Structure 1
């Protein structure tokens, strides 16, 4: 049986971050599809066919003929089903995007501290699910994409603050008219949280690759030296 190749920690860590990207992207794609599905049965966009069907039996009460619009009923059922899927995928996408962004940021900070984690590690919440880390990635002022990363972080931070503020107002027993307006404004801004986290995650993932350059070069040097030593040990023909 061939010996199983052990993956270097830098490559394993990069794969761990990439898996978080793939997860967030799966939910992102599913959510986009669900949003499109909802619009296909939107009563404001669709014309319901006027044709009806007659119903006999228990559905027709007091001896009166009962009719139904099958097309209208289908649109109602599908709108409810697609709406449920849209809501569920929206929540899943936001959760996965936050894990992706914070996981990539965690990986960069770990490498900056001189650690060699083979995978991204998350703490778990009371339900046993992974909880996001902090999002900041300091120390990349000299990186070419550093300004873009900072801008994406600021956008994400605004969405997170808006979500926290809006949820705080929504949980109150009473809100004034002014606070109600503020709540709707904040929750509206928070609606972009998933996309902001995903966009930040893409840049933070690139920052992971940047932070691993030294480790990868050292690994390549080790492999080259090991190969050269192996060639030296070969008997001369």
Structure 2
């Protein structure tokens, strides 16, 4: 039996929720990578002093010794560091898509459109590119102050990233500018979490913006059901 076609309000909400799930997967993976990296932190971890002997191939090479535990920590430190860096990048990208996708959905509904899914433009590599993050015209929305505060937090992180990257690209920076660059890039490091937090609030704003359309849909279904009952033959 074919599955009944989903109303656009439901599929749009599902589209935004899928963006949440995606960002949350990368968020969880990044947290796990951060924890894994701390387990091989040389500052916090004592390396066992025991060593092993190594002999070269028959007839050549000199015998030597090595710390197998220290080597393992070095390998794992490099491996976990790579995973942490890559998951951080994916988390930031997914969080921005989540936040901007939810914001786009709200604006689309406000314009009177009926998008069944969130739509992104693609970049030169075919990957979805984040859209604008701002959500206007929510005067009657109870969570508007929290949404606006979260938007400002994301904007501050994005401004800091732009400023830090601009300084990093210069051929010469003074000591003061170097300090500003590190401060800005450190602040920009919170962009993923800020975008994710904003996405959660923007997702709730999507539900708010769909209230009228959902009520209209419920009314249509109720009227259709009543008409069907009226058409039933009298026993």
TM-score (normalised: structure 2) = 0.97
Instruction: Map Cα deviations across residues 76-133 of structure 1 (whole Å, 9 max, x no partner).
Output: 0000000000000000000000000000000000000000000000011111111100
Deviation at 1:142, TM superposition (A): 1.8
Residue 219 (structure 1) aligns with: 217
- State the SS of the aligned residue for 2:99: helix
In structure 1, what is the Cα distance between the partners aligned to 2:60 and 2:169? 45
In structure 2, what is the Cα distance between the partners aligned to 1:35 and 1:59? 43
- State the SS of the aligned residue for 1:54: strand
For 1:21-32, list aligned pairs within 5 A: 21-32=20-31
In structure 1, what is the Cα distance between the partners aligned to 2:55 and 2:129? 55
Deviation at 1:55, TM superposition (A): 0.8
Identify if the C-alpha distance between structure 1 residues 59 and 178 changes in structure 2 by more than 3 Å, giving closer, same or farther: farther
**Gap regions ≥5 residues in structure 1:** none
Say whether the 8 Å CA contact 2:55–2:61 is kept in structure 1: no
In structure 1, what is the Cα distance between the partners aligned to 2:59 and 2:104? 64
Number of residue pairs matched by the alignment:
235
In structure 2, what is the Cα distance between the partners aligned to 1:27 and 1:183? 27
Instruction: Map Cα deviations across residues 186-232 of structure 1 (whole Å, 9 max, x no partner).
Output: 10100000000000000000000000000000001111111111111
Match of 2:77 among 76, 79, 92: 79
Structure 1 stretches of 4+ moved >3 Å = 58-63
Say whether the 8 Å CA contact 2:23–2:91 is kept in structure 1: yes
Residue 13 (structure 1) aligns with: 12
Q: Give the CA RMSD over aligned residues.
A: 1.3
For 1:33-182, list aligned pairs within 5 A: 33-58=32-57, 63=62, 65-182=63-180
TM-score (normalised: structure 1) = 0.96
**Gap regions ≥5 residues in structure 2:** none
Residue 3 (structure 2) aligns with: 4
In structure 1, what is the Cα distance between the partners aligned to 2:46 and 2:187? 32
